[in-house]
Amino acid sequence: MTVLDHRHPDTVPGWLPGATGPRTDPAPLLPDASPLRILGTEAQAKTDPALLRELYRRLVVGRRYNQQATTLTKQGRLAVYPASTGQEACEVAAALALRPQDWLFPSYRDTLAVVSRGVDPLEALTLLRGSAHTGYDPVATRTAPLSTPLATQAPHAVGLAHAARLRGEQVVALTMLGDGGTSEGDFHEALNFAAVLHAPVVFLVQNNGYAISVPLTQQSAAPSLAHKAVGYGMPGRLVDGNDAAAMHAVLSEAVERARSGGGPTLIEALTYRVEAHTNADDATRYREDAEVTAWREHDPILMMERHLRPAGVIDDQLVQEAAEEAEALAARMRAEFHAEPVLDPQSLFTHVYAEMTPQLREQAAQLAAELAAEAEVEA
Amino acid sequence: MTVLDHRHPDTVPGWLPGATGPRTDPAPLLPDASPLRILGTEAQAKTDPALLRELYRRLVVGRRYNQQATTLTKQGRLAVYPASTGQEACEVAAALALRPQDWLFPSYRDTLAVVSRGVDPLEALTLLRGSAHTGYDPVATRTAPLSTPLATQAPHAVGLAHAARLRGEQVVALTMLGDGGTSEGDFHEALNFAAVLHAPVVFLVQNNGYAISVPLTQQSAAPSLAHKAVGYGMPGRLVDGNDAAAMHAVLSEAVERARSGGGPTLIEALTYRVEAHTNADDATRYREDAEVTAWREHDPILMMERHLRPAGVIDDQLVQEAAEEAEALAARMRAEFHAEPVLDPQSLFTHVYAEMTPQLREQAAQLAAELAAEAEVEA
Amino acid sequence: MTTAVSTRTSTMAQALNSALRDEMRADPTVHVLGEDVGALGGVFRITDGLTAEFGEDRCLNTPLAEAGILGTAIGMAMYGLRPVVEMQFDAFAYPAMEQLVSHVAKMRNRTAGKLPLPITIRIPYGGGIGGVEHHSDSSEAYYAQTPGLHVVTPATVEDAYGLLRASIASDDPVIFLEPKRLYWGKAEWDPSVAVPPVGRAALRRDGRSAVLITYGPSLPVCLEAAEAAKAEGWDLAVLDLRTLVPFDDETVARVVRSVGRAVVVHESTGFGGVGAEIAARVTERCFHHLAAPVLRVTGFDIPYPPPMLEHHHLPGVDRILDAVARLQWEDGR
Amino acid sequence: MTTAVSTRTSTMAQALNSALRDEMRADPTVHVLGEDVGALGGVFRITDGLTAEFGEDRCLNTPLAEAGILGTAIGMAMYGLRPVVEMQFDAFAYPAMEQLVSHVAKMRNRTAGKLPLPITIRIPYGGGIGGVEHHSDSSEAYYAQTPGLHVVTPATVEDAYGLLRASIASDDPVIFLEPKRLYWGKAEWDPSVAVPPVGRAALRRDGRSAVLITYGPSLPVCLEAAEAAKAEGWDLAVLDLRTLVPFDDETVARVVRSVGRAVVVHESTGFGGVGAEIAARVTERCFHHLAAPVLRVTGFDIPYPPPMLEHHHLPGVDRILDAVARLQWEDGR
Ligand SMILES: Cc1ncc(C[n+]2csc(CCOP(=O)(O)OP(=O)(O)O)c2C)c(N)n1
Ligand SMILES: Cc1ncc(C[n+]2csc(CCOP(=O)(O)OP(=O)(O)O)c2C)c(N)n1
Ligand SMILES: [Mg+2]
Ligand SMILES: [Mg+2]
C-alpha cells in the first residue's frame, strides 16, 4: 500500500468502450464566476480581527520595503529591482499562509514574500544587489532560491512536496508565478505532475495584467487563468489579489487542503503592477496612466483602511505602529546596503562541485596568481 | 486594420479593478458530458449514406494497411511499425475532413492518415523502413513530416495556420497527437498560441489509453483531456474515436469553423490501441487481455457493420469492393517493399544547408574516396 | 533593397534596429516575433518602432513561451515566411532547445530540401553588463556543434547591420548572437556598403608576432591587448571570426601559418567551448607552422558569477598577455 | 552495501539493472523516475523489476514530459532524496535542457553549497542500432561543456555496473550516458570489485606507436582497429576515458607523451564535439612530445542519417586506420 496507490483518488481508471460521462465531475474544479472578496462583504465581520490587523501591518511594512528597495536602485545600491508595489497583499498573505515546515518557491519578483517570511532583506536581495546568486539558506528558511527562469520553480515545488509526502511529512509547497509564467511549458508540466501525483502543492498566479509590456490579452484568451485548473483535474480559485483578507482565506484553505491530503490547487489572484516592470523599464511605452490610476484606487492598503477603519479593526495606534515598524525596516536597509559587501574571488570555484575538479584547482590557482600580481603592481 | 486587431474577438481587455465575472463565458468551451456518437443514434439517419460508405471503405483499407505494415516488420522490410489498428476511424476521418489546401501535421503513429490523404505507402513509410527521414514532399502533399518528438509538431501547425491567415488564405492546419503527448510543454504552448492568435488550427488528441506502457490515469487526472480547452479559451470536444461518423462530424465542424475565422478547437477522441505500442513492444507486461477484448468488441469497423448493415447503408457489394481494394493495396505494398531501395551515400551531405559548407565538401570527398577504395578492394 | 547612402554614427543596438527595418521594407515575408518586441521595442529596443511602422502582423508580441515562439516560427517558415525570432536573453533560449535541435537544424535535411527554414534567431548573449544570474550566459557552443545551423556573431556596429541583413536573407536557419555589452558602443558606419557574406572572418589588425583569434564580445578587449602588447615588443594580429559556422578555415589557417603562434580568446567557459574546436582545427591544419601550441584564454569552467565578481571571470588584457607570454618565444619573435 | 561475490556473465543492460537494484537496496533515498520505467521496465528494460521489488513510490512512471520529470527530480533532491532519472532516448532529453543547464548544473553553486543536487540522469545515447530519426543522437558535447555537471559514459559491462553505482552515490549531478549499441553485448564481470571512481580513464590496450583516445560506443571499434593495425605494423594503445567531466588530464597526458601520436575517436559530429576539447588540451599539455597533430575521427557534421545509411556516418576500422596513417610516420615508428 503506497502513497501512489491513490495518487488521484477521484479518477476512474481510463475510459471504457462506449463510456458515458467524464472520468470525474468537472463542476467542483471550476472557479467561481467572480473573484472572492472579503473586505466590504459580510465575510469581513466573520474574519479574525487579529489576523486582519496582522495583514495590515505586513502590508504597510511591505509597501515601505518596496519603496526603499526602489530607492536603493537609484543610489546604485541595487543593480535592479522588480517592485511588487500594489501586489503586497499577495506577497504577505503567501508568507502568512505557510507554516514553518512548509516551503516557498518564489519567482524573481517575490522578495517581499521572502522577507515577510522572516528572511533579512540584505539576504533576500543579494541577487538584485549583484553580490551573490542566493543570499539566504534555502534549507534553513524553507525558501527556494528566487527563480528568474520563469515557471521553472513550479516543478521543483511539485517534486519537493511529493518527496515530503513519500516520507509521510506534512509539508506543503507554495509556488508563486506571474500571469506570463503560465504560458511556459514548465507551468503546464508542473500542474499536471502535481495533479497526477496528488502532491501537496499550491500554485499562486499573481495576474498583475502584464508580462513586462505584454498585456494579458496577448498572453491568454482563457475566461480566467484559474480555469486552467480543470484541465489538470485540480480546483481553480479566483480571488481579488488586492484584498488581503480574501488572499489569506483562499491561500490558507488551499494550503491546509493540500496538507490534509486533498491535493493541489491553482489560485489566480487578480492584482496589478502599479510600478514599471523594474526600475530599468519604461511603462509609458505600453500602457495608459488612466489604467494605473484606476488600480491605485483599488490599492490593497487603501482597501483595508477603507473597510476596516469604520469597523474599528484598524485604529490610529495600529497605523502608527505599522508606520514605525516600516520606517525601522527602511532605516536598517539603508544602513546595511550602504556598506560595501566583502566578496571572495575564490568563491567562483568553490561550490561548483562537491570537490574542486583538477581543472578548477588549476583555474583557482591562476586567478590567485593574477590577483597577487595586481596587488604587487598596486603596491 | 490587421488580422490581429481581433486576434481573439470574444475576450475583454484584461481585468478591471474590482472586476466581477470571468473575461468570457466558459460554458460554451466545456465539452459535453458524454462523447459524441452518431452510429446507432438518431443522428445516424441524418448522415449522408455516401459519406458513411466512403468512411467504411477507408476503414477496411486502413485496417488492411495496418496489418500489412505489421507483417512487413516480421519480414524485416520495415525497421519498426507503430500500428494504428483500432484507431482507424480517427485516422481516416482526419484525412477526409481536410480539403486539399489544408495541412496535416501527423505524429509518428499516423501514417494511415497520411496514406488515406493520398500519399503512397512506400513514401509514407520510409521513416519506418529506415531508408529516408521523410519520403514524401510535404509541400506538394500539404503534409508535414511525421513527428517523432512528441507534441513538437503542434506549434508548427499553429505557425503555419497563422501564416496562411496573415496571407488571407483559407487554410486550416490539423495536428494529431496522443494522450501522452498532451503532457508535453509544447502541447500547452501550442494551444495557448493558437487561442491567442485565433489561428485556424484543429488539435486532434487520440486518447488510446496508453503512452507506451503508461495508462491514462498515470498521465492525467483531468475529467477529460477535452476539458483542457477551456484553460486556453477554445472549445473542447469529446467524441467516440471508434465511431467514424462521429469523428468525421466533429472534425469537419471544427475544420470549417476554423476556416471561417472561428478559431481553434481541441478534440479528444476516445479510442484504444489494440496492438502493442509497436511490433517491438510487449504489451502483456502492462495490461490485461480482458481490456483488449472489450475494446475489440467496440472496433470501428464492427461498429459500422453492426449499425449500417441493418440500415442497408452497407451491403455485400460494398463489403466486397472494400475488401478487394484492401487486398490490392496490400499486394502493392508487398511488391514495393520487397525491392531493395537504392540509396546514395552522398545524400548524407546534400540538404544539410542550402549550399555545402567547405567542411562538408571535405567530408563528402572523404566518404567518396573511402567508398572508391572499398570498391577497388572488392574488385 | 532600399539602403541609405551617407554614413551614420550609431550604437550597435540602433544598427541592428536599422537592419531589421530595412529587411522588413525590402521583403514583405520578413516577420519579427518574440517577447515584448511590440510597443516596448524589446528590452534592448532592437525592435523599436517596428510594430508602429509595419503593424502587429509583421512584428508580433507573443505569449511568454520560447518553445512556442520558435515552434510557431517554424510553421510560419513552412508556409513561406521569413521569421526573425527574438530570444530575450541567452539563458531564456534553452526552453526552445528541442525545437531548435530536432526541427530547426534538421528540417531541410529530413525533407531532402523540400522544407528549408529561413529563420533567424536573434539571441543577446554574454556578460559584462552586470546582469543577474541567467542573463549573461555565453551559449554559442551549444549552437555551433549542431549541424544544420549557421552561427553568426558581430563585433562591430557595421557588421551588426550587415551580418543581420545577410542572416535574414539566408535560406538557412541562423543563430544570430548579439554581444550585449557591445549594444551601446557607438561607431560611424556606412549602411550602403555591400552586405558582408556569412562565413568570412575579418582581420581587424595585422601583426607579425602572433594572432589573437576571437569573436563577438571579446574583440574590443583583444584589440586593447594588442595595443598593450606593443610595450612588450609583441606585434599582435587580431582576427575576428564573425561567423562560427560555417567556419572560415581558409582565412584562419592563412593568418596562423603566416605568424606561427595563436591564442584563441572568448568569454564563454573553456572546456568544450568553441575555442577548443578552433585550437584543434588550427593545429590539424597548421601543425608544422606552429612554434607553440595554440593557447586558449576563456572564461573559467564555472556557472556565470554574480555581477560583483564577473570581472574576475571575463578574459581581460592581462590574462591575454599572460597567454601570449607563454607562446614559447625563446626561438625569437 | 550488499553486493554479490561470484562473477557473472550478463549484458550491459542487465548490469545497469543490477546497479540500480543494488543502489536502491543499499540506500532508501534512491528513487527512480521516468517514462515507462514501471511495469514495462523501460523500453530497454534497464529498470526491469524495480517497481515490483521497491514499489511505485521508489520507481515511478511519470507523465510524458521531460522538463517536468527533471524539474520534479530537482524538487525531490532538494528534500534529500537521490533521484535517478531515465530519459528514454538522447533526443528526448532536449526538452529538459533549461532545467538541466539553469538549475541542475547550477543549484549547488547558486546556493553556495546549501542545495546540492545528487541527481543521476541516465541517457541512452548514440547510434548503430537502426533507430529512426531522433533516436540516435550523440549529445555528450552539450553536457560536457556545461559547468556543474559530471559526464560519465561506460564502455564495458563491468564499468556500466560500477560507474552507475558511483554516479548514483555521487553528491554531484551526473549525466550518465549509456551507449545503446553496447546494451546487448555480454561479458563476464565481477560485481564485488570496488566501484571505480568517477574521473579516471582506463588504458584498455597498451601500445607504442600511437594511442586511440575514445569512450563509450566507440571503444569496441577502436580495439578492433588496434588489432587490425598490427598487420600494418602499428602497435596502437587504446584509452577509454570513461568520464568526460571531470577530465582525466593526468592519465591522458601521460599516455600521449609516452607514444607521441594520438587519434581521438568518437561517433558524435566532429565540429565542436568533445574530440575538439580532447585534441586541444592534449596539444596544450604535450605539444613538444607530439610528432604529429592530434587527429580526430568522428561522425560527419550532419544530422544523424536514416538507418540504412548510418554505417557510412559511423567511424569504422578503416576510417580510424586512415587517420593513423596520416600521423606523419616518416620520422619512424
Ligand atoms: C524562461 C524565461 N523567459 C523570459 C524571461 C524574461 N522575463 C523576465 S520577467 C518577464 C515577464 C514576466 O511576466 P509575469 O510572469 O507576468 O511576471 P511579472 O513580471 O508580471 O511579475 C520576462 C519575459 C525569463 N525570465 N525567463
Ligand atoms: C519528446 C519525446 N519524449 C519521449 C518520446 C518516446 N516515446 C515515443 S512514443 C511514446 C508514447 C506516446 O504516447 P501517446 O502520446 O499517447 O501516443 P501513442 O503512442 O499512444 O499513439 C514515447 C514516450 C518521444 N518520441 N518524444
Ligand atoms: Mg505579470
Ligand atoms: Mg496514447
Per-residue burial over B349-379, b if 16 or more Cβ lie within 10 Å, else e, is bbbbbeebbebbeebbeebeebeeeeeeeee
Whole-number pLDDT of residue B1: 41
Q: Residue C332 — very low, low, confident or very high, per pLDDT cuts 50/70/90?
A: very low
Q: B227-271, pLDDT tens digit by residue?
A: 999 999 999 999 999 999 999 999 999 999 999 999 999 999 999
Whole-number pLDDT of residue A14: 67
Output the CA C121–ligand 1 centroid distance in Å: 19
pLDDT at A166 > cutoff 60: yes
Which residue in chain C has the smallest CA separation from B104? C75
Whole-number pLDDT of residue D194: 78
Mean residue pLDDT across chain B: 95
Q: Which protein residues have a CB closer than 5 Å to ligand 4 (ion)?
A: B 178-179, 208, 211
Catalytic annotation on B162?
Answer: no
pLDDT at C325 > cutoff 70: yes
Percent of the residues in chain C that have a pLDDT greater than 90, as a whole number: 94
Output the CA D68–ligand 2 centroid distance in Å: 15
Whole-number pLDDT of residue A18: 82
What is the least distance, in Å, from the CA of A333 to any CA of chain D?
22
Q: Which of C22, C18, C305 is nearest to C138 (CA)?
A: C305
Distance in angstroms (rounded) separating the CA atoms of residues C69 and B156 = 10
**With an 8 Å Cβ cutoff, are C65 and B189 in contact?**
yes
Instruction: Return the C-alpha torsion angle B344, B349, B355, B361, nearest 10.
Output: -110
**With an 8 Å Cβ cutoff, are C75 and B357 in contact?**
no
Q: How far is CA B195 from the centre of its chain?
A: 20
Q: Is the CB of C90 under 6 A from ligand 1?
A: no
pLDDT at D188 > cutoff 70: yes
Distance in angstroms (rounded) separating the CA atoms of residues B132 and A106 = 47
What is the least distance, in Å, from the CA of D6 to any CA of chain B?
31
Q: Which residues of A are catalytic?
A: 273, 277, 286
Atom of ligand 1 nearest to the CA of A179: 16
Which chain C residues touch B185 with a CB distance below 8 Å? 65, 67, 95
Percent of the residues in chain B that have a pLDDT greater than 90, as a whole number: 93
Helix (H) or strand (E) holding B105: strand B103-105
Nearest ligand (C-alpha, residue B80): 2
- Strand, coil or helix: B326: helix
- Report which protein residue has its CA nearest ligand 1's atom 18: A178
Task: Report the neighbours of C using a cutoff of 3 or more CB pairs below 8 angstroms.
Answer: A, B, D
- Strand, coil or helix: A128: helix
- Three-state secondary structure of chain C: CCCCCCCEEEEHHHHHHHHHHHHHHHCCCEEEEECCCCCCCCCCCCCCCHHHHHCCCCEEECCCCHHHHHHHHHHHHHCCCEEEEECCCHHHHHHHHHHHHHHHCCHHHHCCCCCCCCCEEEEEECCCCCCCCCCCCCCHHHHHCCCCCEEECCCCHHHHHHHHHHHHHCCCCEEEEEEHHHCCCEEEECCCCCCCCCCCCEEEECCCCEEEEECHHHHHHHHHHHHHHHHHCCCEEEEECCEEECCCHHHHHHHHHHHCCEEEEEEEECCCCHHHHHHHHHHHHHHHHCCCCCEEEEECCCCCCCHHHHHHHCCCHHHHHHHHHCCCHHHCC
Which chain D residues touch A161 with a CB distance below 8 Å? 75
Which of D95, D148, D276 shows the shortest C-beta gap to C277?
Answer: D276
Q: Residue A378 — very low, low, confident or very high, per pLDDT cuts 50/70/90?
A: confident
Whole-number pLDDT of residue B8: 52
pLDDT at B96 > cutoff 80: yes
**With an 8 Å Cβ cutoff, are C108 and B3 in contact?**
no
Mean pLDDT over residues D224-249, rounded? Answer: 98
Mean pLDDT over residues C133-140, rounded? Answer: 97
Q: Residue A265 — very low, low, confident or very high, per pLDDT cuts 50/70/90?
A: very high
Set D31, D103, D135, D266: catalytic member: D135
Other CB atoms within a 10 A radius of the CB of residue D15 amount to: 26
Mean pLDDT over residues B36-47, rounded? Answer: 97
Output the CA A367–ligand 3 centroid distance in Å: 41
pLDDT at D3 > cutoff 60: no
Mean residue pLDDT across chain D: 96
pLDDT at D198 > cutoff 70: yes
| Residue D241, C-alpha cell as written in the block | 576515458
- Please state the ipTM of this predicted complex: 0.97
Q: Which is it for strands D186-189 and D8-11: parallel, antiparallel or unpaired?
A: antiparallel
Nearest ligand (C-alpha, residue A151): 1
pLDDT at B7 > cutoff 70: no
Distance in angstroms (rounded) separating the CA atoms of residues A54 and A52 = 5
Q: Is the CB of C95 under 6 A from ligand 1?
A: yes
Catalogue the long-range contacts made by A35-38 (C-beta closer than 8 Å, 24 or more residues apart). Answer: A35/A238, A35/A239, A35/A240, A35/A246, A35/A270, A35/B19, A35/B20, A36/A237, A36/A238, A36/A239, A36/A240, A36/A243, A36/A246, A36/A249, A36/A250, A37/A239, A37/A240, A37/A243, A37/A246, A38/A243, A38/A245, A38/A246, A38/A249
Q: Residue D201 — very low, low, confident or very high, per pLDDT cuts 50/70/90?
A: very high
Q: Is the CB of B360 under 6 A from ligand 2?
A: no
pLDDT at B200 > cutoff 90: yes
Catalytic annotation on B298?
Answer: no
Q: Is the CB of B241 under 6 A from ligand 2?
A: no
Q: Which of D39, D56, D62 is nearest to B286 (CA)?
A: D39
Percent of the residues in chain C that have a pLDDT greater than 70, as a whole number: 98
Mean pLDDT over residues A294-301, rounded? Answer: 96
Which of A127, A150, A180 shows the shortest C-beta gap to C133?
Answer: A127
- Report which protein residue has its CA nearest ligand 2's atom 11: B211
What is the least distance, in Å, from the CA of B17 to any CA of chain A?
6
Whole-number pLDDT of residue D329: 85
| Residue A318, C-alpha cell as written in the block | 495600529
Q: Is the CB of A178 under 6 A from ligand 1?
A: yes
Q: How far is CA B154 from the centre of its chain?
A: 11
- Report which protein residue has its CA nearest ligand 2's atom 13: B211
Whole-number pLDDT of residue A13: 59
Q: B147-174, pLDDT tens digit by residue?
A: 999 999 999 999 999 999 999 999 999 9
**Phi and psi angles of residue D260, each rounded to the nearest 5 degrees, phi first:** 80, -5
Q: Is the CB of A210 under 6 A from ligand 1?
A: yes
Distance in angstroms (rounded) separating the CA atoms of residues A173 and A143 = 10
Q: Which of C156, C264, C157 is nearest to C204 (CA)?
A: C156
Cβ distance A214 to A180 under 8 Å?
Answer: yes
Q: C226-284, pLDDT tens digit by residue?
A: 999 999 999 999 999 999 999 999 999 999 999 999 999 999 999 999 999 999 999 99
Q: Is the CB of C325 under 6 A from ligand 1?
A: no
**With an 8 Å Cβ cutoff, are A285 and C302 in contact?**
no
**With an 8 Å Cβ cutoff, are C114 and B173 in contact?**
no
Which chain B residues touch C72 with a CB distance below 8 Å? 155-156, 158-159, 162, 193
Task: Report the neighbours of A using a cutoff of 3 or more CB pairs below 8 angstroms.
Answer: B, C, D
Which chain A residues touch D51 with a CB distance below 8 Å? none
Task: Report the neighbours of B using a cutoff of 3 or more CB pairs below 8 angstroms.
Answer: A, C, D
| Residue A72, C-alpha cell as written in the block | 536603493
Amino acid at position B322, single letter: A
**With an 8 Å Cβ cutoff, are D112 and A351 in contact?**
yes
Which chain B residues touch D305 with a CB distance below 8 Å? 348
Mean pLDDT over residues A208-237, rounded? Answer: 97
| Residue D325, C-alpha cell as written in the block | 596513417
Which of C67, C111, C172 shows the shortest C-beta gap to B354?
Answer: C172
Q: Residue D332 — very low, low, confident or very high, per pLDDT cuts 50/70/90?
A: very low
Instruction: Return the C-alpha torsion angle D89, D93, D94, D97, nearest 10.
Output: -160
Q: Residue B12 — very low, low, confident or very high, per pLDDT cuts 50/70/90?
A: low
What is the least distance, in Å, from the CA of B332 to any CA of chain D?
22
- Three-state secondary structure of chain D: CCCCCCCEEEEHHHHHHHHHHHHHHHCCCEEEEECCCCCCCCCCCCCCCHHHHHCCCCEEECCCCHHHHHHHHHHHHHCCCEEEEECCCHHHHHHHHHHHHHHHCCHHHHCCCCCCCCCEEEEEECCCCCCCCCCCCCCHHHHHCCCCCEEECCCCHHHHHHHHHHHHHCCCCEEEEEEHHHCCCEEEECCCCCCCCCCCCEEEECCCCEEEEECHHHHHHHHHHHHHHHHHCCCEEEEECCEEECCCHHHHHHHHHHHCCEEEEEEEECCCCHHHHHHHHHHHHHHHHCCCCCEEEEECCCCCCCHHHHHHHCCCHHHHHHHHHCCCHHHCC
Other CB atoms within a 10 A radius of the CB of residue D248 amount to: 20
Distance in angstroms (rounded) separating the CA atoms of residues D305 and D133 = 7
Mean pLDDT over residues C23-35, rounded? Answer: 98
Distance in angstroms (rounded) separating the CA atoms of residues B226 and B181 = 13
DSSP helix, strand, coil percent of chain B (3-state; round to 5): 50, 10, 40
Whole-number pLDDT of residue D5: 63
Q: D51-67, pLDDT tens digit by residue?
A: 999 999 999 999 999 99
Q: D154-185, pLDDT tens digit by residue?
A: 999 999 999 999 999 999 999 999 999 999 99
What is the least distance, in Å, from the CA of B247 to any CA of chain D?
26
Cβ distance C67 to A185 under 8 Å?
Answer: yes
Mean pLDDT over residues C134-146, rounded? Answer: 98
What is the least distance, in Å, from the CA of A123 to any CA of chain D?
12
- DSSP state, residue B2: -
Atom of ligand 1 nearest to the CA of A277: 19
Q: Is the CB of C88 under 6 A from ligand 1?
A: yes
Whole-number pLDDT of residue C333: 40
| Residue D281, C-alpha cell as written in the block | 588540451
Q: Which of D64, D69, D94, D107 best probes binding to C when mutated, by most C CB atoms within 10 angstroms?
A: D94
Whole-number pLDDT of residue C191: 87
Q: Which is it for strands D202-205 and B236-240: parallel, antiparallel or unpaired?
A: unpaired
Q: What is the layout of strands, in order, in the sheet containing C30-34? A: C59-61, C30-34, C82-86, C120-125, C174-179, C150-152, C243-245
What are the C-alpha distances in Å from A107 to residues A177, A191, A225, B155? 6, 16, 18, 27
Which chain B residues touch A34 with a CB distance below 8 Å? 19-21
Output the CA A102–ligand 3 centroid distance in Å: 25
pLDDT at A214 > cutoff 80: yes
Q: Is the CB of A75 under 6 A from ligand 1?
A: no
Whole-number pLDDT of residue D192: 87
Percent of the residues in chain D that have a pLDDT greater than 70, as a whole number: 98
| Residue D313, C-alpha cell as written in the block | 556516418
pLDDT at D24 > cutoff 80: yes
Set C31, C103, C134, C135: catalytic member: C135
Whole-number pLDDT of residue B17: 87
Listed in sequence order, the residues at least 6 apart from C258 whose beta carbon sits closer than 8 Å to its beta carbon are none
Q: How far is CA A246 from the centre of its chain?
A: 16
